[in-house]
Structure 1
Amino acid sequence: MGLPWVGQTMEFYKAQRKNSLFDDFVQPWIAIYGKIFTTHLMGSPTVIVNGANANKFLLSNEFKLVVSSWPSASVQLMGKDSIMEKQGERHHCLRGLIGASLGQEGLETLVPKICHSVQLHLDTKWKGQDKISLYRSTKILTFTIVFECFLGISVEAEMLGIFERVLEGVFGAPVQIPGSRFWRAKKARVEIENMLIEVVREKRMQMEGNIEAEEEQGGTLLSQLVAGMIQGEITEEEVVDNVVLLVFAAHDTTFAIAMTFKMLALHPYCHSTLLKEHAEIMRSKRPGENLTLDDTKKMKYTWQVLWTTYGTHYNSEYFQDPLSFNPSRFEESVPPYVFLPFGGGPRVYAGYQLAKLNILIFVHFVVTCYDWSLLYPDEPITMDPLAFLSHGMPIRIYPKISQSATREFLQHNA
């Protein structure tokens, strides 16, 4: 168990900051004790488990033998009324409301909106540039897509900065010392809450007595949540806290996109294979015609390129040569509870379909309009508290002559 209270907390944090939690912390103890071992982490007695059977046990027994919990700082900043803190019926109710916006009809409505956001972003942030910070650019775009396409809330210039201040304190010590990360994060959280309460109340006034019309128009998630509030299914606090949580969950999408482009730059054959897939999609489109939900379903190799880490994803028991970048490994059937980029069981990420569309559509427009190279091929990944690229992943971009020329080139080389 290590030292009382402290245990191996320092070793845990050190490995986490180096982005080597599995190699430097978990794997050495597995070598000694096997796939289950005990310690103290952050003041709590802790059991660490590894492998598909462990994943299945934990994820399938949520609300039965297992109850999820989060650090105090996370709860205070994400909100005690968010879905991550709810159990049983309340969790089921909130999940149903969120999921209603991500059914077939909702996804079909989202695709053209996301296409428009991506094209506008590339036209205003990439066009005319020879170098950009991919990580920063992706973060701005993902934030905009979640707010404007999914929630239907207009993005103001200062909003992203406020959310970033909250994120900095999510996994820190919940100590209210003036000037500390958590103190700054709490102040930013109050700003966000005040802004969202105003938006929610204005939306309620618009919808009062007119819920059917909103539903017929395929309303945004905010419309779904506010409709639930009007009907007495959820509270205003639950609406606000779940909007906050969904925005922060988009951080993982940002990191996944950045790593996808890094690995494609380092593996030209994978880039070429992916490009052929998008050439096939472009061949079926008229000039200026938008992507559809069916088009995204054809991006099978693109989805295999998704880069993830940790645990079973690094385990040679399930994946031959797991540390190599080999998207084709996912063409074969993967055993249950082995590949879990969005979690599993009742706690599977409610917005994973939005994240998937965000990634696929962004990749499509970038690979068909630009080539790129890495300025720092060996750029390290830092955890503080979540993963990010140490230099912001600066890339040099080379625009293709035009979309029509790109179409001809891709079709010729498909």
Structure 2
Amino acid sequence: MFLDAAQFGALLPLAAALTSVLCALLLLALTRQLWSLRWTLTRDKESSLPLPKGSMGWPLVGETFHWLFQGSNFHISRRERHGNVFKTHLLGKPVVRVTGAENIRKILLGEHSLVCTQWPQSTRIILGPNTLVNSIGDLHKRKRKILAKVFSRGALESYLPRLQEVVKSEIAKWCSEPGSVDVYSAAKSLTFRIAVRVLLGLKMEEERIVYLAQIFEQLMNNLFSLPFDAPLSGLRK
């Protein structure tokens, strides 16, 4: 079978497209294998225990998009596939997901010896290096001991007058507004105002409190996000 010049010219773009697709698929497959090999090579050499079953997903993003789109079904499907302990890669960090009362009990009782607390990288970046969530070991214990004084019985008793003042003011505002009250939004607003007035001891104008509440809401919505400072990303916001 012979092709004339016109037919051969028409097939060239198709062949080029197919070649590009095949190269892209091969590159993705190779990159995924190298990404998996990277986690294997960088694991703790002092531990002879095998890594749990699971997938590290795609390079950089891992299984983050599966987690975002599937919600709670992500963990349910992975648990059915791999068991109560499985590995994955979320928010730019390799993690091991643990479920089951007995497994969690071991972790909670082994804090600072078997395991230590570590938040996602985006959370550590947003909250800063000197916060409680970014401290581990003895430094974490000292900071937690200092902060515990804020919630001691004596401290809580001293908060009561200011606490009652904030609650009465908010309830009076709810009663003065026509229509029903959005309980969830109202409770969030009340909690934020209590933190500002009672724990921080600040008195601010209403416009300033509303503005800061919106900023705080945006911070909380993006506290767990991909650790990439790019336009429109949660970290940039």
Please indicate, yes or no, whether the TM-score normalized by the shorter chain is above 0.5: yes
Residue identity in the other structure for 2:131:
S
Matched, 1:172 2:221: no
Alignment CA distance shift 1:25-1:162 (3 Å): closer
Q: Which runs of 4+ in 1 moved over 6 A?
A: none
Matched ranges for 1:15-34 at <5 A: 15-16=70-71, 21=72, 24-34=73-83
Aligned to 2:214: 161
Matched ranges for 1:292-371 at <5 A: none
Matched, 1:12 2:48: no
Deviation at 1:47, TM superposition (A): 2.2
Aligned to 2:196: 147
Gaps spanning 5+ residues in structure 1: where?
185-414
Matched ranges for 1:47-58 at <5 A: 47-58=96-107
TM-score (norm 2): 0.65
- Give CA deviations for 1:368-396 in whole Å, capped at 9, x if unaligned: xxxxxxxxxxxxxxxxxxxxxxxxxxxxx
- Give CA deviations for 1:214-239 in whole Å, capped at 9, x if unaligned: xxxxxxxxxxxxxxxxxxxxxxxxxx
Aligned to 1:249: none
Bigger RCO (CA 8 Å, 6+ sep): 1
TM-score (norm 1): 0.39
Aligned to 1:59: 108
Structure number, greater radius of gyration: 2
Aligned to 2:149: 100
Aligned to 1:182: 235
- Give CA deviations for 1:132-173 in whole Å, capped at 9, x if unaligned: 222221121111101111221224332212222333332222
Q: Return the alpha-carbon distance in structure 2 between the equivalents of residues 47 and 178 of structure 1.
A: 30
Deviation at 1:8, TM superposition (A): 3.5
Residue identity in the other structure for 1:26:
H
Q: Return the alpha-carbon distance in structure 2 between the equivalents of residues 121 and 12 of structure 1.
A: 38
SS of the residue 2:181 aligns to: strand
State the aligned residue count.
Answer: 178
Matched, 1:40 2:89: yes
Alignment CA distance shift 1:172-1:32 (3 Å): closer
SS of the residue 1:101 aligns to: helix
SS of the residue 2:236 aligns to: helix
CA RMSD in angstroms comes to 2.3
Gaps spanning 5+ residues in structure 2: where?
1-53
Q: Return the alpha-carbon distance in structure 2 between the equivalents of residues 130 and 77 of structure 1.
A: 38
Matched ranges for 1:276-295 at <5 A: none
Matched ranges for 1:74-89 at <5 A: 74-89=123-138
